[in-house]
Structure 1
Amino acid sequence: MDNKDSRIYFSKNPYPSGHKIERFRWFAELKPSLGILFHFELESEDYNQGEEIEIPKILISDYEMDENIDPDPNFFWETKYFWFMHKRCIISSINIVGYNHFDDRIIKYSPYDGGVLVGTVSNKIDFNNLANVLIKADSLSNYDKKNSIKSHIMSCECVDHEIQIITQKKHQYDIYWKGKIAEKITGGRLDFCHSFKAKVSNVKFEGIYYPENLSNQELRISLAKYSINFDSIPLHKENFRMKNKNL
């Protein structure tokens, strides 16, 4: 991945120039009883790059405790302090991310069984034709169901993912990713009033991960069941999920 040209932007947040993408992964997972899934994981740099952040005079807790304060629905989203407290953005189909605001050097990753189904018996994926593919996941109409992709963006939910894969050069791709973001507001109702967009440059497709208990023959049978032109794709017999890390 080319870090210089890879950025993510959030509509109407206090950083109009966006945030550099620090890490990005894209690979496939073979589930023999289901099909082939694509996985994506995007992690930005810290929102705050050494800037001194002022603590707001009125915090969210004040809104919750004082009925006389008329809450501004954009206060949370447009205030740098709250972005600073959430540190960075992580959008992932393989991990649920936990972050302790009081121990800001640790990010905790918990396995998540997500992923976007791209290869089935009736609609096989062609690994020789990954260019100009548009992938959609987690439509707004089904936002209350189990999502294919989870997010750590200001404790907000994301839906309506559109991921466009464009060929840059042999085995290198540019990826354009956009989606809608909802703040959790009073009464548990979600209002999808925000959005994000990202461009990731010169991404390498990692290959296909498969269960360790498959024999070589079972592996080839399963791959042929859900895909074509997979012979030149790297195959990995290992766990692909992140462990906790120190920043």
Structure 2
Amino acid sequence: MISFPGNPWPAGHELADLQWTARLEPATGLWFDLHLESAPYDADPAAIDGEDDWNAPIVWTNYHRCILSSTYWDNPGFLAATLQQPLANLDFTVDVVEQEEDEDQAFGIYLLGHDSVSDHRITFTPNPGGTTFRLDWRGRIALRYSDSLATYDHEFIATATDVSLTHITVPTDMDDDSARTMLAALIHPLPATTLHRATPRQR
């Protein structure tokens, strides 16, 4: 579920897709990526007007759904662990300071157009059994599509109860044993997840 306080749907919107992946970049460490898509917005025919774009259903339905992602537009995601600071918990604060360029921010967002998102609080809480997690993710939104100088006046709150790390991307020139040895130094216990081969994005 994802909600945008003050928009026309106080109960929020169901999630159509949610993916949590990681990538190993030997020069820097372990990076986390998230990709979220909401279900299409359902308009209330009796409420087609609002005081501004944020609370007008007709504006929201013009853009159909929300995409919030570090992979869809090749945003960097966020550094979760380094050899100097291995992963100690799954509670992250990301992009507290606004980046100068949207592509430098951890995530991009398509909401009421291609807007801007920052100031993330991301927490993964292990579910009983330890193989899946609850995700609590919130951040702030600036409606930059219509105003390039817009400030972060709005908020999103996303939750999911059954999330798993689907794969870790490792460099094509790194063998599995070397990758798992480095990952073991970054994250413990090492999750039993698939290793993908790709040239990582250097950050």
Cα contact 1:138–1:149 (8 A) shared by 2: no
For structure 1, the residue ranges without an aligned partner over 5 or more in a row are 1-6, 57-71, 97-111, 240-247
Cα contact 2:75–2:105 (8 A) shared by 1: no
For structure 2, the residue ranges without an aligned partner over 5 or more in a row are 199-203
Q: Which residue of 2 aligns with 1:124?
A: 86
1:161-176 equivalence runs, <5 A: 161-170=120-129, 171-176=131-136
SS of structure 2 residue aligned to 1:207: strand
- Separation (CA, whole Å) in 2 of partners of 1:34 and 1:209: 14
Aligned length: 195
- Superposition misfits of 4+ residues, deviation over 4 angstroms: 51-56
SS of structure 2 residue aligned to 1:94: coil
Q: Which residue of 1 aligns with 2:29?
A: 35
CA deviation vs aligned residue, 1:22-51 (integer Å, no higher than 9, x gap): 1111121111222100111111100126x5
- Residue type of the alignment partner of 1:134: D
1:196 aligns with 2:152: no
Q: Which residue of 1 aligns with 2:53?
A: 76
| Counterpart pick for 2:95 among 131, 138, 146 | 138
SS of structure 2 residue aligned to 1:223: helix
- Separation (CA, whole Å) in 1 of partners of 2:192 and 2:169: 10
SS of structure 1 residue aligned to 2:8: coil
Percent identity over paired residues = 23
Q: Which residue of 2 aligns with 1:208?
A: 168
Q: Give the drift of 1:88.
A: 0.4
TM-score, with normalisation over the residues of structure 1?
Answer: 0.70
1:213/1:186 CA distance change after superposition, 3 Å: closer
- Separation (CA, whole Å) in 2 of partners of 1:158 and 1:134: 19
Q: Which residue of 2 aligns with 1:243?
A: none
The structure that has the greater radius of gyration is 1
- Residue type of the alignment partner of 1:33: A
Q: Give the drift of 1:217.
A: 4.0
Q: Which residue of 2 aligns with 1:46?
A: 40
Q: Give the drift of 1:212.
A: 2.4
- Separation (CA, whole Å) in 2 of partners of 1:90 and 1:187: 19
- Residue type of the alignment partner of 2:110: H
- Residue type of the alignment partner of 1:117: L
- Separation (CA, whole Å) in 1 of partners of 2:72 and 2:13: 21
- Separation (CA, whole Å) in 1 of partners of 2:134 and 2:184: 27
1:186/1:205 CA distance change after superposition, 3 Å: closer
Q: Which residue of 2 aligns with 1:114?
A: 76
Q: Give the drift of 1:125.
A: 2.0
- Residue type of the alignment partner of 1:161: H
1:211/1:24 CA distance change after superposition, 3 Å: same
- Separation (CA, whole Å) in 1 of partners of 2:26 and 2:158: 32
Cα contact 2:112–2:145 (8 A) shared by 1: no
Greater strand content: 1
Cα contact 2:68–2:107 (8 A) shared by 1: yes
TM-score, with normalisation over the residues of structure 2?
Answer: 0.84
